[in-house]
Structure 1
Amino acid sequence: MVKNIATARNDFPILAQKINDQPLTYLDNAATTQKPQAVIDALVHYYEFDNANIHRGVYTLAERATEQYEGVRQQVAKFIHAESDEVIFTRGTTTSLNWVALGFGAQVLQPGDEIVITVMEHHSNLVPWQQVAQKTGAKLRYVEITADGELDLAQYGELLNAKTKIVAFTHVSNVLGTINPVKKMTEMAHAVGAYVVIDGAQAAGHFPIDMVSLDCDFYAFSGHKIYGPTGIGILYGKRELLTEMQPVEFGGEMINLVTRQKTDFKAAPEKFEAGTMPIAQVIGLGAAIDYIQSIGWSAIEAQERKVTAAAYQLLKDIPGVEIYGPQIGSSRSALVTFNLNGVHPHDVATVLDTQGVAVRAGHHCAQPLMETLGVSSTTRASFGLYNNLTDVKRLAAAVRAAKEFFQV
């Protein structure tokens, strides 16, 4: 069924409520998106009618659960233009990136090798590489940002050399909204023989992603940021690299044979999916992908561009508001991060909540970037397909109310 994005918010039950006697204006989509009724229904249906463990039973419930679970794997593969055996289910982007760092990075890195990441990384794509660098003797090197909040590609090119073994970067910054030129960055990294790992957590729900076109080696994203359930993530890896990559969790279902002294693992993706997987969440993810496709990428992208541009301009017009990241018209995704001079971001967010406006305040798990920006924290308004111009007008009005309240 084709959906109309103009009425899409009606498909999200949570958005109908009031917060502090005000209509809920949910603007924390970079942290997690709300769930349409179709996703909620898919979760309930599984638990009501199909609840069983997968791959193990020959009875009807188990076969139905397995069929749905593996059907979503094929659905995800089509969604990102990959092969189904290149799609691994994980608990989320954080788990996916940790598995790559520990299961692949730790295998290929040697003392003196270099890992290149960017200063705008979320901690999930930074801390694992720190840990692996410490264990292997590899060196961690950072790409800085320019004054307008974009990656310094000239410096990136200078960092790449024969010692570069792994390059890991975010597709979209969760603070600046910067959409990085990941295809070009991947080509540059491959030119020096490096492997490429992309954190797609802030990209997958906002525009189409294509593994064939990107040609990256690994790509990670989370279901809960694309209108699906929490507790489910995707790790894409090229087939030949998944063969080389080692599992970092061990248990049932991932094995061909276990003897007293050794274990023979199955091929990917099964060798990485130990134990009972988040079956209901996988099925909910499939419903979320169906929902996105029922609206269509062109409608989603157009709506988010309109809302983001309006929010950027309305906030920019408020004296004392400082906005971070690229200007509108540049490579900017669906969020606006800002500070109100003289007021701590947590205080801003608290006042906004009294107006029913939900935003995120803090360092956004990107402390090296905060240090680069010269701040300890910021306020972030991030948008999804159900946000509209009324939402951004409420945001701007609430920020003005905060400014008046604190008399700044």
Structure 2
Amino acid sequence: MLSLRDQFPSLASGLAGTYLDNAATTQAAGASLARMASFETGGRANVKRGIYPLATQATAAFENARAALARYLGAENPNEVVFTSSATAAINLVAHGFGAGLSPGDEIIIGEGEHHANIVPWQILRDRAGVVLKVLPVDDEGYPRLDALDGLITARTRLIAVTHASNVTGAVTDVAAVCDIARGKGVRVLVDGAQMAAHGPVDVATLGCDFYVVTGHKMFGPTGIGVLWARAAVLDAMAPFMGGGEMIRRVTFDETIFAPPPHRFEAGTPPITQAIGLGAAADLLLGLEWPEIRAHEQVLLGMLMERFADRDRVTVIGPGATAKRLPILSFTIAGVHPHDICELMGARGVALRGGHHCAQPLMDRLGVAATTRASLALYNIPSDIEAFTAALDETLEVLA
């Protein structure tokens, strides 16, 4: 994996230190940075507007990025890919557009382990439109309890919104099973794939979901860019989230005729540079050997978990095994706030995340206020785990 690290400038230079905060954001791939720089320095233009060469080149690059994301998500139709500003924006787009077709008393089921981005938009919809929110519980390891799903679905259930993998515990949801249950009841499924996308290509066709969202900065691309994939028939039936230029066919003072998807949902000038950069990241990831990378990540996760085996003050939150989970590990140290741990570890060159990780309902369920989190990605190596261990030993001595 050392050669892979060379493709990430901040790691190759050593500037990022021992970077174990990949669940918050990944480091940007050099290919992504280079393609964005080429667009900006080689002469840029707006997309879907001009017909001069620079403009048509920009539009082609933008649409090529859309096609790359479609390939990465296993979608046959690039027009099912909508560019947004983030995964959060993508979920809000669905809450507004799909939610516009819901009636008071219609039901949405959300997971107990969700990021706030997959909770708050549905609460806003509830308060605005009178829909009913139900919660799919998780077990003690943070896995959604699929045995409880049938009992939650009624004739009024319209959508199930679940994470593909927890940003706190790393627990991976059996999304295909959720979709099988939902399909038999005529219920749509939205999957928050923000964490999963950094750990290999996704196949939305195999999963069977109706919506899938990802974000660029968590899959080795730029910030300020997200993606919504949705089935063409579902997008066709959805109202736009925002109005403006380029999402229309015809405007008069009496009415507006909207453009077909995906442009219907991309009002105004889109994040062109970021989309191009994310397309480059997707191209890079599509060319990697993912069985080997996933095995490498699981080895590192096993090493990390072993470091906590004989520490009395440390409690690991979430699954106890490395199977069916991402390389994300949250822990607490008795009597010590996670922010203190992160500050002391950061001073020793190790980047971790401390807090509730935008998942306070899950924290409540697991009985903790906050955790310290180490999260790995494809470019981490055994020496990162050794650096983590040394810094943790020193930190525990300081806090003794």
TM-score by length of 1: 0.95
Task: Report the equivalent of 2:235.
Answer: 242
Task: Report the equivalent of 1:320.
Answer: 313
Tell me the percent identity. 42
Structure 2 counterparts to residues 11-160 of structure 1, below 5 A: 11-17=7-13, 24-82=17-75, 83-107=77-101, 109-160=102-153
Residues 334-359 of structure 1: CA distance to partner in whole angstroms, max 9, x if unpaired?
A: 21011111100000000100110001
1:16, CA displacement in angstroms?
4.2
1:261, CA displacement in angstroms?
2.0
Structure 1 CA distance for aligned equivalents of residues 149 and 55 of structure 2: 50
Alignment size in residue pairs: 399
Task: Report the equivalent of 1:10.
Answer: 6
Residues 34-78 of structure 1: CA distance to partner in whole angstroms, max 9, x if unpaired?
A: 012211111111101131101111111111111111111112112
Structure 1 CA distance for aligned equivalents of residues 198 and 32 of structure 2: 15
For 2:8, give the aligned amino acid.
F
Task: Select the residue among 210, 215, 228 that pairs with 1:222.
Answer: 215
Structure 2 CA distance for aligned equivalents of residues 49 and 160 of structure 1: 53
Structure 1 CA distance for aligned equivalents of residues 22 and 359 of structure 2: 17
Contact map agreement 1:120 1:368 (CA 8 A) in 2: yes
Residues 10-36 of structure 1: CA distance to partner in whole angstroms, max 9, x if unpaired?
A: 2222124567xxx81001111110012
Structure 2 CA distance for aligned equivalents of residues 37 and 144 of structure 1: 40
For 1:155, give the aligned amino acid.
A
Structure 1 CA distance for aligned equivalents of residues 278 and 69 of structure 2: 9
> SS of the counterpart of 2:196?
coil
Structure 2 CA distance for aligned equivalents of residues 249 and 135 of structure 1: 17
Task: Report the equivalent of 2:396.
Answer: 403
Structure 1 CA distance for aligned equivalents of residues 322 and 308 of structure 2: 16
Structure 2 counterparts to residues 252-331 of structure 1, below 5 A: 252-331=245-324
> SS of the counterpart of 2:98?
helix
For 1:10, give the aligned amino acid.
D
Task: Select the residue among 214, 225, 229 that pairs with 1:232.
Answer: 225
* Farther off after superposition, 374-383 or 72-81: 72-81
Task: Report the equivalent of 2:342.
Answer: 349
Contact map agreement 2:68 2:283 (CA 8 A) in 1: no
Structure 1 CA distance for aligned equivalents of residues 14 and 183 of structure 2: 51
Contact map agreement 1:85 1:269 (CA 8 A) in 2: yes
Structure 2 CA distance for aligned equivalents of residues 291 and 315 of structure 1: 34
Structure 1 CA distance for aligned equivalents of residues 201 and 46 of structure 2: 32
Residues 141-192 of structure 1: CA distance to partner in whole angstroms, max 9, x if unpaired?
A: 1111112322112122221222211110000000010000000011111222
Task: Report the equivalent of 1:178.
Answer: 171
Task: Report the equivalent of 1:361.
Answer: 354
> SS of the counterpart of 2:242?
coil
> SS of the counterpart of 1:67?
helix
For 2:142, give the aligned amino acid.
G
RMSD: 1.4
Structure 2 CA distance for aligned equivalents of residues 99 and 322 of structure 1: 38
For 1:316, give the aligned amino acid.
A
Structure 1 gaps of 5+ residues are none
Contact map agreement 2:201 2:285 (CA 8 A) in 1: no
Structure 2 gaps of 5+ residues are none
CA 1:50–1:317 in 2, change beyond 3 Å: closer, same or farther?
Answer: farther
Structure 2 CA distance for aligned equivalents of residues 304 and 101 of structure 1: 34
Task: Select the residue among 138, 154, 158 that pairs with 1:165.
Answer: 158
Residues 99-125 of structure 1: CA distance to partner in whole angstroms, max 9, x if unpaired?
A: 001111232x22222111111000000
Q: Does 1:379 align with 2:375?
A: no
* Farther off after superposition, 290-299 or 182-191: 290-299
Q: Which runs of 4+ in 1 moved over 4 A?
A: 16-19
TM-score by length of 2: 0.97
Structure 1 CA distance for aligned equivalents of residues 44 and 139 of structure 2: 51
Structure 1 CA distance for aligned equivalents of residues 190 and 17 of structure 2: 37
Structure 2 CA distance for aligned equivalents of residues 355 and 16 of structure 1: 19
Structure 2 CA distance for aligned equivalents of residues 76 and 228 of structure 1: 12
Contact map agreement 2:72 2:286 (CA 8 A) in 1: no
> SS of the counterpart of 1:204?
helix
Structure 2 CA distance for aligned equivalents of residues 49 and 104 of structure 1: 39
Structure 2 CA distance for aligned equivalents of residues 148 and 128 of structure 1: 26
